[in-house]
């Protein structure tokens, strides 16, 4: 039985969000796709992977998002997973747990509960049963922040998942909520404008392969990124973080650009037909297949109903995982050469 010391840490700020933030799946046991299963979380693999991520040097861990299967794990499973994660990390890096639900009251209830478990913050997208407009989405974040004043919030800005485009007016308004310290951000084309609208009060974290471009755009503000690739083997993204930091000091961005190109090449088969929209239909299965193929962590089968995935889609995901594993191996060889 895990014993978690319930000791709330101070509210994180934007200055606490730097470097490489790995997104963890909620690993499943072999019974993960069974609709009758009541205990599907592989807690041993959770602890092993969390420990390995911290040892690798990641700066933070995000969890219970889309391929963290927040929508398909039970409340009991969520708590067991987050307790194990918090206990394993033991305060060495910040841990965020997703508490998105279909309504504000459940999100507040879960946010309070996981904060008691010991997470530093929550990854949060707006409820998505009905497509929200800007006032609805902003009020949702305001209500959660007011009800949970000691909990940091990472805005989960995925337009396909939440049926919301996260427009400029949204960023301008949630920047006034102190608890919103970061965002899992995807719209690299709008990044500079959104940075200006937020007054740089929110750390907009792009995907790993977009980090180089973001850091070139605004090296003072763009000092963190999110990555699912870290779960396929953290070496490439740890090196990327360090090369960008070095380039910021020296002005020589060549090595950071070269590694970014190698990372981007592993994504070639990940998005079906090159479409993020199509990827989003099968996001959970694609990411878990990629992770399992890479072999650094066992993500396990998908929980229903998202366990029905066309085999050609999975083939592309597995190839992306194998390419990431080859990149890890190559980088490790280069370090020892």
Residues with active-site annotation:
156, 184
Cα 120 vs. chain centroid, distance in angstroms?
Answer: 14
Where are the alpha helices (H) located in 57-133, listed in sequence order?
Answer: 75-89, 104-117
Query: What gap in Å lies between CA 154 and CA 167, rounded to an integer?
Result: 17
DSSP string, 116-138: HHT-SEEEE----SS---HHHHH
User: How many separate helices (H) and strands (E) can be counted in the chain?
Assistant: 13, 8
Which residue has 């949630």 as its token pair? 174
SS3 content of the chain, % helix, strand, coil (to 5): 50, 10, 40
Q: At what angle do helices 235-250 and 208-217 cross, to 10 degrees?
A: 10
Place of tokens 């190109």: 261
The SS3 of residue 318 is helix
- Residue 305 buriedness (CB in 10 A; 0-12 / 13-18 / 19+): exposed
């Amino acid at each position: 039985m895990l014993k978690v010391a319930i000791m709330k840490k101070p509210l994180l700020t934007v200055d606490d969000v730097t470097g490489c933030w790995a997104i963890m799946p909620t690993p499943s046991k072999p019974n993960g796709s069974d609709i009758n299963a009541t205990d599907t979380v592989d807690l041993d693999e959770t602890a092993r992977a969390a420990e390995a991520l911290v040892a690798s040097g990641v700066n933070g861990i995000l969890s219970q998002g889309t391929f963290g299967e927040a929508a398909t794990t039970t409340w009991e499973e969520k708590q067991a997973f987050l307790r194990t994660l918090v206990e394993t990390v033991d305060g060495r890096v910040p841990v965020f747990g997703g508490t998105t639900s279909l309504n504000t009251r459940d999100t507040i209830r879960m946010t309070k509960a996981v904060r008691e478990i010991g997470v530093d913050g929550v990854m949060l997208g707006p409820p998505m049963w009905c497509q929200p407009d800007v006032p609805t989405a902003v009020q949702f974040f305001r209500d959660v922040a007011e009800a949970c004043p000691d909990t940091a919030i990472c805005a989960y800005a995925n337009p396909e998942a939440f049926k919301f485009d996260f427009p400029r007016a949204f960023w301008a308004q949630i920047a006034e909520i102190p608890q919103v310290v970061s965002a899992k951000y995807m719209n690299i084309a709008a990044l500079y404008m959104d940075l200006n609208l937020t007054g740089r009060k929110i750390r907009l974290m792009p995907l790993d392969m977009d980090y180089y471009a973001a850091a070139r755009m605004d090296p003072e503000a763009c000092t963190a990124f999110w990555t699912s690739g870290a779960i396929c083997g953290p070496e490439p993204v740890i090196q990327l973080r360090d090369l960008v930091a070095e380039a910021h000091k020296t002005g020589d961005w060549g090595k950071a650009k070269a590694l970014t190109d190698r990372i981007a090449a592993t994504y070639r088969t990940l998005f079906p037909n090159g479409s993020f929209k199509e990827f989003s239909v099968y996001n959970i299965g694609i990411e878990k297949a990629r992770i399992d193929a890479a072999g650094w962590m066992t993500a396990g089968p998908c929980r229903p109903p998202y366990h029905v995935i066309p085999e050609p889609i999975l083939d592309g995901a597995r190839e992306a995982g194998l390419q990431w594993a080859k990149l890890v191996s190559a980088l490790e060889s280069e370090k020892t050469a």
